[in-house]
Chains A and B, each alone.
Chain A
Amino acid sequence: GENVEQHPSTLSVQEGDSAVIKCTYSDSASNYFPWYKQELGKGPQLIIDIRSNVGEKKDQRIAVTLNKTAKHFSLHITETQPEDSAVYFCAGPSGSARQLTFGSGTQLTVLP
């Protein structure tokens, strides 16, 4: 099945700086890569996703890049704000796309 590794496990940035979280995956057939944000005490929420037919996708301050050759994808958050502080998870499909395998999560802290 799919194996997704995520780095770093914790990340602190100053407000206004950029944050980058990276994930690698093992299954070259994987074609869908979502990112979820989990705020304290809540369930994760989808913030952006990318499919394997594109290399980059942007949504305001958030972008995701995908390198299929190297089998890695990254989340980029620009102009970070305190409300960006949360745990972020990457994921990839496995089991004929019937389930998602999640990375281990990154605790992002934006310092004022």
Chain B
Amino acid sequence: DGGITQSPKYLFRKEGQNVTLSCEQNLNHDAMYWYRQDPGQGLRLIYYSQIVNDFQKGDIAEGYSVSREKKESFPLTVTSAQKNPTAFYLCASSMTGKVNTGELFFGEGSRLTVL
């Protein structure tokens, strides 16, 4: 089945530690995205990538980093500089880098809790 796989589903981290969330897609999509979801705030864009080896900051990139070394993979690192990292993180992909040409396909999310 084609889709987006996020792992881990649940993750606990101590303050001061970096953590990396995995996102893999087998849809052969060019573009990939990371969103953060907090209660009552909808989905906020962290980073996005339209092609391999290129990515751009979204609205809330501070404290996060990404890489796009392969088309199918777009890992997100939550660094110790992120002041409030506890959240639900969603990875998505789209066929092209223009979101008005087609839908976003989302993974099932990773819930990060900082202890």
Residues in A lying within 8 Å of B, measured CB to CB: 1, 6, 9, 31-32, 34, 36, 41-46, 49, 51, 89, 93, 97-105
User: Does B90 sit at the interface, judged by CB under 8 A?
Assistant: yes
Q: Which A residues lie within 8 Å of B109 (CB)?
A: 41-43
A82 to B115, CA, bound (A): 36
| Contact, CB under 8 Å: A45 / B40 | no
A27 to B78, CA, bound (A): 31
| Contact, CB under 8 Å: B33 / A43 | no
| Contact, CB under 8 Å: B42 / A103 | yes
20 contacts between A and B (CB under 8 A): A6-B42, A32-B99, A32-B100, A34-B103, A34-B104, A41-B109, A43-B92, A43-B107, A43-B109, A44-B104, A51-B100, A97-B101, A99-B58, A100-B45, A100-B99, A101-B45, A102-B35, A102-B43, A102-B44, A104-B42
Query: Smallest CB–CB gap between B89 and chain A, Å?
Result: 10
Q: Which B residues lie within 8 Å of A43 (CB)?
A: 4, 90, 92, 106-109
Q: Which B residues lie within 8 Å of A51 (CB)?
A: 100
| Contact, CB under 8 Å: A98 / B98 | yes
| Contact, CB under 8 Å: A44 / B106 | yes
| Contact, CB under 8 Å: B92 / A102 | no
7 tightest A-B contacts by CB? A43-B106, A32-B100, A46-B103, A102-B43, A104-B42, A102-B42, A97-B100
Query: Smallest CB–CB gap between B31 and chain A, Å?
Result: 8
| Contact, CB under 8 Å: B100 / A31 | yes
**Are A104 and B41 CB-contacts (below 8 A) given A44-B90, A99-B33?**
yes
**Are A105 and B107 CB-contacts (below 8 A) given A43-B90, A93-B99, A99-B58?**
no
**Are A99 and B40 CB-contacts (below 8 A) given A43-B92, A43-B108?**
no
A45 to B90, CA, bound (A): 12
> In the complex, what residue of chain B is closest to A10 when comparing beta carbons?
B40
Please name 8 further chain A to chain B contacts, defined as beta carbons within 8 Å, in addition to the given A43-B4, A102-B43, sorted by A numbering. A43-B92, A43-B107, A46-B104, A51-B100, A93-B99, A97-B100, A98-B56, A98-B99
> In the complex, what residue of chain A is closest to B31 when comparing beta carbons?
A98
